[in-house]
Structure 1
Amino acid sequence: MDALLLSRLQFAWVIAFHILLPAFTVGLACYVATLEVRWWITKNDTVRRLSAYWIKIFAISFGMGVVSGIVMPFQFGTNWSRYSDGASPVIGSLIAYEVVTAFFLEAAFLGVLLFGRKLVPQWAHALSAILVALGTLLSSFWILATNSWMQTPRGYEIVDGRFMPTSMFEVIFTPSFPYRLTHTVIAFLVTTAFVILGVGAFYLRHKRFPEESKIMMRMSLAFLGIMVPLQILVGDLHGLNSLEHQPTKVAAMEGLWETGRGVPASLFAIPDQEAEKNHFEIAIPKLASIYLTHDINGEVKGLKEWPKEDRPPVAIVYFAFRIMVGIGLLMLATVYTGLFLWKKGRLFERQWYLRLCMLVSPVGFIAVLAGWTTTEVGRQPWVVYGLMRTRDAVTPSLTTTDVAISLLGYMVTYAIIFGAGFILLRRLVRIGPPVGAEVEAHEVQAHPKRPLSAVTEHDDTVDTPVVRGLGGRHDA
């Protein structure tokens, strides 16, 4: 357990928790924007209440994302100073663009979204929701542009050991960027849609908020019926791109050691990196060549084509990839089962299916983590693919004790932040969407000495979720 390994564990810990928030808030911002536009057009009060409910959940999740995201860039300086020094001329501007274009946009219009329901026209409130959603997508754009440059670097020259940009267009639009951006954003949207589907199923099983729940389930299934198959298609294209630009990663994903034509697809195995072979393997002949090269006799390079020191940790990449694919197939089966029941008019009355939706609602987060693990561990041993090794990017003066103390601090802090946030979000889900008439925000402000118990479950102001959460009232 040296400083390098602990620094990698620390970065994995921080980013693994943080990525859960964009995986939820990007999709949730788009969903809220859709609800706001729908309410503006239809004036359906159920849609308005549903939007107000998810805005509260979005606000808490966004706050947690900001807190967990702020500390991430500090690690570049504290733990990865050599990387920061060498790559900052390229990645520094990309991260700055993310703050200026995305975070500022989100922060500015989030205030209107949270507090402007009764202060601006409905078209302006819907526009604020759209701009917040656009901000989350812009944030994804810049962060994934940065990551894609590290995966497939372009548009640079090395001057005195530093990467100097020669073309910002090439820096941003690297060969893997379009596939990585599309695949990741769709994953975020699908993850959120499954959460919404599960929440709607939860309320229907408990015979609460039937109108809101039916809208949630219909919208989610209609959206997922398109996006899950699209994600599988985009994933296939992303795999072809990786085979061209990062063949070592693909070989690790497939657990393929020998170069060959018509290579089999390994369904399960236990890769042995030292012996350079798989144990207990179950494989389908020629299938890997079909989906990797779209040719039954297509050639795929095995891991033995590269020196041992240039290969990623095979077992981690192998199993992470299978978890991601397995969850994708589970999602596909769940969605099309729901669409079949919807067509037959039995979607909302099949208790087993409602329970299934509840059980699979968090699997999108697991798939996102598995996909991130496949991408990032598969890039090893490089921090800038083929150019800078991870071991050469770490801060040289770090000691094992330094990193161990900071890692422990991160673990305790994140446990508190995410634990408290999860409890509050869980309480909001148990309370459910607001019902009945709204209590105006100015009415609460007009009675500063009014007891908290006087704020009822019918309130639909920004202050009510906190009051409800602290008060512990769960049912309308």
Structure 2
Amino acid sequence: MTMLSALELARAQFGFTVSFHIIFPAITIGLASYLAVLEGLWLWKQDSAYRDLYHFWSKIFAVNFGMGVVSGLVMAYQFGTNWGFFSTFAGSITGPLLTYEVLTAFFLEAGFLGVMLFGWGRVSPRLHYFATVMVAIGTLISATWILASNSWMQTPQGHAIVNGHVVPVDWFKVIFNPSFPYRLVHMVIAAYLCTALMVGATGAWHLLKNQHTKTNKLMLSMAMWMLLIAMPLQVLVGDAHGLNTLEYQPTKLAAIEAHWENEPGQAVPLILFAWPDNDAEKNHFELSIPHLASLILTHSWHGQIPALKDVSPSDRPNVTAVFWSFRIMVGIGMLILLLSLWALGLRYRDALYRNRIFLRITFFMGPMGLVALLAGWITTEMGRQPWVVYGLMRTTDAVSPHSFTTILTTFIVITLIYLGVFGSGIRYLIRMAGRGPVEYKSEDEPIPTPTWSLATHTPVASSSHQINTSTPSNHDLNDQKENP
């Protein structure tokens, strides 16, 4: 076995930390919007099930948010430690973009997060809902700046090279680079899908335990509606993103399709299964559909795309890794689409909450959105290789001059810390989800009821009125006919 070089080890270390980190922002983005919807429905409908779900998921959101911040700090430090030459070369663009993220999104989130988490019953319902919405908007703004920075590394523009350094000359072009709109929308929808699968799996778990409460049914129902709406949109956005990649990063697309060479007049097949051989420059065990890649990518029967052999082997990514990570992402996406259609059929037959096979599959699909998310990022980042800034700076020129032993030592330390800290955090999140939502009660503060209605904008109740706990709860375990 060939020993890894210091460069490969530095790449593996960054890949490890970013894979841990990306999970938490994705869930944060999805849960923040979900909480805004839940609180809005609570204010509108005055149904305590939405209030109880809000408090249940807000606790999970808080823990996840904290882990996302900490893991992001570690990743940011690696730009200066392991990738010093990259920071020197492109820091005048990536530095300000990350600073904008802190000055806008992070301050917005931090400013309203305390009100959102601790202001229930202490501020007016309108102000609390406003804080929740601001936190949700903050997560989307954060994603915007991060994706702007990363997309510029994929499709750089709006800059000049002065004395071996990148200098921004048009910030509008830097931010709104060619791949940015597609990648931002693709990432946000992916975050919503990940969160919906997690929420749906939680509801399915408790329904499998015969806890047929309204909150558990609502979790499953709302999750399935989100999957049904978001997954077809993701397919359309993914197709548009693929066409953008064909235009600006053709070698990456050739690696995704494992397309080695063009022959005159021959169409490009869509390869469903193969084992690409980087050294032999061919595919083994290939199973493909003739002409389909031409139709999808060029909208013509005999259209061709750039092939891997059109560029030097030193300019190609690892085709095997890119090919399979893309298919894992797409394969899981198709499973999500089938799950949402299955749920629609069960809903039509009034069997959504009773079909135990469906509930079991929904539960096991819970983490699959995150797996697809990671596979998509592997496709994106490994497909860019051997460039750290596409066409401008190679990864070999970006790494800091550390020894193999130094990087290996820090890698081991980071791995142990991450597995200990974030492993415990993830385990705690799973335990919190396993407890399930309960009726919200507080001994030291009143339960706020809405002073206004989103539907009529007229007063409906006083926040000083206490909920009569002697009335029957709407979480009756025997309620089998409830259909949110």
What's the TM-score once normalised by structure 1's chain length?
0.91
**Separation in 2 of the partners of 1:115 and 1:30?**
18
Shift of 1:437: 3.5
Contact persistence 1:10–1:407 (CA under 8 A): yes
Alignment of 1:214-233 (within 5 A): 214-233=217-236
Contact persistence 1:313–1:378 (CA under 8 A): yes
**Separation in 2 of the partners of 1:107 and 1:156?**
32
Shift of 1:441: 5.5
**Which of 188, 192, 195 lines up with 1:192 in the alignment?**
195
Q: Which runs of at least 4 in structure 1 moved beyond 6 Å after TM superposition?
A: none
For 1:46, the equivalent position in structure 2 comes to 49
Give per-residue Cα distances to partners, 1:97-143, cap 9 Å, x unaligned.
00110111111111001100011111111111111111111110000
Matched, 1:270 2:267: no
**Separation in 1 of the partners of 2:117 and 2:309?**
56
**Separation in 1 of the partners of 2:426 and 2:95?**
33
For 1:175, the equivalent position in structure 2 comes to 178
Shift of 1:37: 0.9
Contact persistence 1:36–1:125 (CA under 8 A): no
**Separation in 2 of the partners of 1:371 and 1:384?**
19
More displaced 10-residue stretch of structure 1: 233-242 or 1-10: 1-10
**Separation in 2 of the partners of 1:280 and 1:223?**
37
Shift of 1:438: 3.0
**Separation in 2 of the partners of 1:373 and 1:436?**
41
For 1:235, the equivalent position in structure 2 comes to 238
Structure 2: gaps (5+ residues): 448-484
**Separation in 2 of the partners of 1:267 and 1:436?**
50
Matched, 1:414 2:418: yes
For 2:81, the equivalent position in structure 1 comes to 78
Give per-residue Cα distances to partners, 1:269-319, cap 9 Å, x unaligned.
111111110011011100111111222221111100000100000000000
Contact persistence 2:121–2:446 (CA under 8 A): no
Give per-residue Cα distances to partners, 1:393-450, cap 9 Å, x unaligned.
0112x1111101111111011001112112211221222112264333599xxxxxxx
For 1:464, the equivalent position in structure 2 comes to none
SS of aligned partner of 2:146: helix
For 1:426, the equivalent position in structure 2 comes to 430
For 2:127, the equivalent position in structure 1 comes to 124
Output the amino acid matched with 1:292. Answer: L
**Separation in 2 of the partners of 1:226 and 1:294?**
26
Alignment of 1:9-408 (within 5 A): 9-208=12-211, 210-260=213-263, 261-396=266-401, 398-408=402-412
**Separation in 2 of the partners of 1:114 and 1:385?**
42
**Separation in 1 of the partners of 2:173 and 2:445?**
49
**Separation in 1 of the partners of 2:320 and 2:9?**
20
Give per-residue Cα distances to partners, 1:48-105, cap 9 Å, x unaligned.
0110000000000001111111111111111111100010111111000001101111
**Separation in 2 of the partners of 1:19 and 1:316?**
19
SS of aligned partner of 2:352: coil
For 1:470, the equivalent position in structure 2 comes to none
For 1:463, the equivalent position in structure 2 comes to none
Output the amino acid matched with 1:223. Answer: M
- Higher-RCO chain (CA-CA 8 Å, sequence separation at least 6): 2
SS of aligned partner of 2:273: strand
Structure 1: gaps (5+ residues): 444-476
Shift of 1:259: 2.2
SS of aligned partner of 2:280: coil
SS of aligned partner of 2:300: coil
Shift of 1:22: 1.2
Structure with the largest fraction of helix = 1
Give per-residue Cα distances to partners, 1:209-234, cap 9 Å, x unaligned.
52001111221111211110000010
**Separation in 1 of the partners of 2:332 and 2:16?**
22
Output the amino acid matched with 1:174. Answer: N
**Separation in 2 of the partners of 1:111 and 1:138?**
19
Output the amino acid matched with 2:370. Answer: F
Change (3 A) 1:339 1:384: same
Q: Percent identity?
A: 49
Contact persistence 1:3–1:399 (CA under 8 A): yes
SS of aligned partner of 1:300: coil
Contact persistence 2:51–2:440 (CA under 8 A): no
What's the TM-score once normalised by structure 2's chain length?
0.90
SS of aligned partner of 2:286: strand
Aligned length: 442
Contact persistence 2:204–2:220 (CA under 8 A): yes
**Separation in 2 of the partners of 1:439 and 1:54?**
20
